[in-house]
Structure formats: C-alpha cells, structure tokens
Chain A
Amino acid sequence: MASKMPNPTRMELTRLKGKLGTAIKGHRLLKDKRDELMREFLDLVRVNMELRKKVEEGIRQANVNFVIARAGMSGEALQAALMAPKQEVSLKEGVKNVMSVNIPQFDYATRTSDPNDIYSYGFAFTSSDLDGAVKSLADVFPDMLKLAEVEKSCQLMAAEIEKTRRRVNALEHVTIPETQAGIKYITMKLDENERSTQIRLMKVKDMMLEEAHHYSEK
C-alpha cells in the first residue's frame, strides 16, 4: 500500500496513469530480458563447467609431468632451462554485447608461428620428461583461454541477471501495485468531490426556490 496518499487532483491522476503505463511496459521488457539472459546463461554455464573440468584435469596431468621432469634434473638446471622463454603470447580482446551485457572475447597470437618454440632450451642438458611436460601444458592452453572467456562471461551475466531480477520484482510487487492504488484513491476522491458538489448545488437551489416562492408557508 502506498505509504503516502497522493494529492487528489486531476493532474496527479494523469501523472500516475502515465507512470503506470511506463511501469507495465518496462516490466514486460525487463521480464523478457531476464528470460533471454537466463536461457543464454544456462547454456554458457554448462560449457563453463565442462571446460573447467577439462582444464583442471589437463593442468593436473601437466603438473604430474613437471614433477617427474623435476625429479630427473637439478632445480637450477630446470630454472635455467625455462629462464628465457622463446615464445610470447599476446592477447586480443574484443567485446560482444549479449542483451546489453558486455562480455569479453579473447583470441591470442603467438610471437612466432612455430609450435616448437615452446621449448626454450637446448635438448642436451634437460631430461626428455620436461619436453613432455611443457607440451602437455601447451596443449591445455587453448582450452584455458576459452575457459577465461566463458567463465568471465558467466560471471558478468550472472550479475546482470541478478540485477534484472530485482528490477522485475520491484516493478511487479512495489511500483505497479502502489501506482494502481494511487490511481484508485484519486478516482474515488474525485468522484466523491463531484457528488458532494452536486448535492450542495441541489441544496442551494432548494433554498433559493424556497426564498422566492415560500412553499412551506402555503
């Protein structure tokens, strides 16, 4: 219920009617936005979960390989081997707009196109396990980047859905009923005023006729 009753004037009534129309239209639009966002989100979050499991398994495997590689050579040699990387990755960012949510699009470019440039060391002084370990990590990397894109999108969309849901609920359960109550109150009040004016006029007319013709004395 409205906490404060609006002024019972025609101008206020027009204003409230306009507000109600906007609120109903906005409510419908936001509801559609929420539904569409939710549909996209549910698809995306499933992909997110699958990718995450894949990446986590890939990294676990790579870590196992690295531990084996470490066991086969001294820590200093390993540090030295990976000290100066040959390859360099740069990230290309784009932004895609899904239902007014900006979600990132990532693409990467490597400095050299040779896939063997991930081995930044001579093969003479390192164990062959290190090659395997580096390779296994390189294999997960495209999925890791995809994961970054999808997971960030999911987070942004989840935040937007939450916001939209609140707005929809606020309109549906607060703004629209309050405005409707206000309109009803003003209409009733105006009708009531009109009736009392009418009665007053009739009464005055009676009194004037009485004065002119003195009905009651006859």
Chain B
Amino acid sequence: MSKIAVMGDRDSIYGFRALGLETFTVTDIEEGAKLLKRLADNGYGVIYMTEHIGELLKKERAKYEERVTPAIILIPGVFGNTGEGIARVKGSVEQAVGSDILFGNE
C-alpha cells in the first residue's frame, strides 16, 4: 500500500485534496527538490507534479526515471498547459525508436 502525492502551486492543486490525495505546495526549486526526495523515499507510488514545477525539477526527476516507483507524472497547472507532458511522451518515443515516428507532426 502506498500513497499518492500532488506537488505544485497552491491554486493548481487544492482541488485534489478533496479527492483524498495528499497535496504539497511548492514554490521554489530547493524546497521542491527536498520534498521530492522525501516523497520518493517514503513510499509514495505516484507523484503528480504541475508542469511548471516539473520543468524546474527536471534534474531531480531524472534520478527516478529508472525506478519502477515513484511514477512522476506531469499535469497541467492552473496557468495553462506548457506542453511539457506531451513533449515527454514524444521524448520516450525518440529514445526508443531513434526519432519520433508517431507524433512528429502533431
């Protein structure tokens, strides 16, 4: 049994608290990096992160890429969609195939 966390700015994530997910407000990189490490080491299986924070924590996120958990998933925040999430899916196609043959022109 593990837990689900949501990281991001307050306005983007407060709704998730109603669903029973644990929300963590993040405002700057340092705090975010520490929090991410704490969450990942404390049995959170899925960490949703707003795209904005996700971009700031790119380096920290990469550490958990090879591990089965936690799954760090980017979601759009209240300030709109930056396209980082979609870019990440395309990135994995590129990594596997060598070039983006599926969504290249989307």
Contact = CB atoms under 8 A, between A and B. Distances in A.
Interface of A: 38, 41-42, 45-46, 48-49, 52-53, 55-56, 59-60, 62-63, 66-67, 78-79, 82, 85-93, 95, 102-104, 106, 108, 110-111, 118-120, 133-134, 137-138, 141, 144-145, 147-149, 151-152, 154-159, 161-162
B96 A138 contact: no
16 contacts: A38-B96, A45-B93, A48-B89, A49-B102, A60-B76, A66-B15, A82-B15, A89-B20, A90-B2, A91-B45, A93-B45, A144-B75, A151-B88, A154-B89, A157-B92, A158-B96
Contacts, number: 141
A215 to B, nearest CB: 74
Interface residues of B, number: 39
Contact of A93 (B2, B75, B81): B2
B25 to A, nearest CB: 12
A42 to B, nearest CB: 7
B65 A159 contact: yes
Interface of B: 1-4, 12, 14-21, 45-46, 48, 65-66, 68-69, 71, 73, 75-78, 80-81, 85-86, 88-89, 92-93, 95-97, 102-103
Nearest to A110: B20
A59 B105 CA distance: 24
- Say whether chain A's binding surface is mostly helix, strand, loop, or mixed: helix
Contact of A141 (B3, B19, B77, B85): B19
- Say whether chain B's binding surface is mostly helix, strand, loop, or mixed: mixed
Contacts of B21: 89
A90 B44 CA distance: 10
B17 A82 contact: yes
Contacts of A144: 48, 73, 75
A158 B93 contact: yes
Contacts of B46: 91, 106, 145, 148
B1 to A, nearest CB: 5
Residue among B19, B69, B103 with the most chain A CB within 10 A?
A: B19
Contacts of B3: 89-91
A166 B17 CA distance: 44
B92 A154 contact: yes
A147 B93 contact: no
Nearest to A103: B68
Contact of B16 (A53, A56, A137): A137
Contact of A38 (B65, B89, B97, B103): B97
A67 B18 contact: no
Nearest to A162: B95
A147 B89 contact: no
B20 A151 contact: no
Given A104-B69, A108-B4, 10 more contacts: A38-B97, A56-B76, A63-B78, A85-B18, A89-B20, A91-B45, A104-B68, A106-B45, A141-B19, A148-B71
